[in-house]
Amino acid sequence: MPVHVPGSRSRKFYLTPPSPARPHYYIRFDVPRALRDANPALPATVFQSTGTDILSAAKEIAATKILDVFGGRWDTVQKQQVARPQFCTLGDIVDAYEPDPQEVDAPQKTRNKSAFLLVAREMMGKTDARKLSADVYGDGVAARIRAWQIERVGRADAANKIAVNSARRTINSTLAMAKSVLSPKVMHCYAGLKLPDFAAFRAIPRLSVRASDQKYVPWSAEVHAAIMRDAETRLRTEQPMVYRAFWLMYRLGLRNIEAASARRSWIRRFPDGSGEFDLTITADFDTKTGKSRSIKLTKAMMLQMAAIFTDLEPRDFLINLKTPTERARVCYRDINKWIRQFLPATERQKGAYELRKEAASIIADRPESEGGGIQAAADFLGDTIAVTEKHYRGVKRSTVAVTDAEAAPRVVIAFSTATAAVA
């Protein structure tokens, strides 16, 4: 793009926009012949980086360089020259990252990219990791990663083995997702980019993690009663959107993202008053397993949903807020903040996810003759039998299951003997 030097009508230079090979604006200026005759050190064309990808700043820097050329200060311009970057930026890599959709679904692709930039940001202490050179994952990366790991684990209470263990698990998970962006399987995506050697980064080992019991530990009768009581008496009136998330996660076993994405059109009503809740994969929604599933809704549950999710059009979200950010805040941060006040410190800090697990443990603990068992719990969760058995086989509850006669076999509520049923 042509740009005029401020204060001059005739002196004009050009700015070359940023590209994968050059992340900054470059100035191109043809030096007048008369000026070169007077100063043989001047080149026929000045072509230098401005050192910035911000257009307004690039214009000012380029104009200053031209004025220095006309003022006979070519040595100054030479000293200010910014070396051409040796490698592409992390933003270039993220933009080109296109894994096989059969191996990496869209939600996981987004998480991988976020982790890739997050690790770089933590290593380098930069707010905008996209502008960092790709060699932050090259030579010296092992030492930088180790320093980040030590600092991150250090934030956890050293005396609290649960918190430290959780931090180590989080680091391992984040690193695994970041590494997938630089996996040999996707390197063909970066054919046009200049990359460093990522062997050292790929070889970084996982942190050791203390083995933990895979079996789910149900809430105590007192904790269960306190949560149900607060949900119905306070949460429902004071934080209605958080209550909706609670209902979807506990009664229907939805994951956070499923609750945030749920629409009125997912509910189907049958002539007898019962219904079905369909989690169908679409262009803008996918489940964790990549498979659709349906949840049966009894007459009582349909009546409850009509009372809770009122005045909604078919296209409306059940968490009836305008933006994805607002819905995500309710289904992740707000509901976690609410439920953590009732739960004891556990290795898993995703409090809202405990609602889904608690409901599954209730189903798994019930006899198959009453619609319970591992198969029913697996159907409820949308998980495989193997995964469900690992977490819920043999789990015993201290609460007494009170069957709602109208409830579907796979959806029941448990209460202590001293707690009245809330249906």
DSSP 275-298: EEEEE--BTTB--TTS--EEEEE-
CB–CB of 148/123 below 8 Å? Answer: yes
How many angstroms separate the CA atoms of 26 and 16, rounded? Answer: 5
Q: Could you tell me the fold of the domain covering 221-415?
A: hpI Integrase; Chain A (1.10.443)
CB atoms under 10 Å from CB of 39, counted, come to 12
More confident residue, 172 or 34: 172
Q: What is the pTM of this model?
A: 0.54
Q: How confident is the model at residue 73, as a pLDDT?
A: 72
3-state secondary structure of 192: coil
How many angstroms separate the CA atoms of 17 and 22, rounded? Answer: 8
Where does residue 254 fall: left (phi above 0), alpha (psi -120 to 50 degrees), or beta otherwise?
beta
Is residue 355 exposed (0-12), middle (13-18) or buried (19+ Cβ within 10 Å)? buried
- φ/ψ of 113, rounded to 5, equals -65, -40
At 260-270, the pLDDT tens digits run 988 888 898 99
Q: How confident is the model at residue 397, as a pLDDT?
A: 67
Where does residue 394 fall: left (phi above 0), alpha (psi -120 to 50 degrees), or beta otherwise?
left
Residue 7 has pLDDT above 50, yes or no: no
At 48-85, the pLDDT tens digits run 887 777 777 778 778 777 777 777 776 666 655 554 55
Confidence of residue 402 (pLDDT cuts 50, 70, 90): very low
Mean pLDDT of 95-110: 88
Query: Which residue reads 């997938």 in tokens?
Result: 180
Mean pLDDT of 405-419: 32
Q: Which one, of 318, 264, 303, lies nearest residue 404 by Cα?
A: 303
Q: Which one, of 348, 355, 363, 349, lies nearest residue 242 by Cα?
A: 355
Q: How confident is the model at residue 126, as a pLDDT?
A: 64
Radius of gyration of the CA atoms of the chain, in A: 29
At 162-221, the pLDDT tens digits run 667 778 888 899 999 999 999 999 999 998 888 988 999 999 998 887 665 567 778 888
CB–CB of 335/249 below 8 Å? Answer: yes
191: CB partners within 8 A, 6+ apart? none
At 296-315, the pLDDT tens digits run 888 888 888 888 888 788 77
At 35-55, the pLDDT tens digits run 777 777 777 777 888 777 777
Q: How confident is the model at residue 347, as a pLDDT?
A: 46
Burial 189-226 (b: 16+ CB within 10 A, else e): ebeebebbebebbeeeeebeeeeeeeebebbebebbbb
CB–CB of 51/90 below 8 Å? Answer: no
How many angstroms separate the CA atoms of 405 and 260, rounded? Answer: 29
316: CB partners within 8 A, 6+ apart? 263, 264
The domain ranges of the chain are 2-79, 90-202, 221-415
Residue type, 402: V
Query: Which residue reads 């604006």 in tokens?
Result: 25
Reported as half-sphere exposure (CB side, CA atoms, 13 A), residue 339 has a value of: 29
Pairing assessment for the beta strands 293-297 and 275-279 based on DSSP bridges? antiparallel
Helix axes 353-365, 385-392, angle to 10 degrees: 90
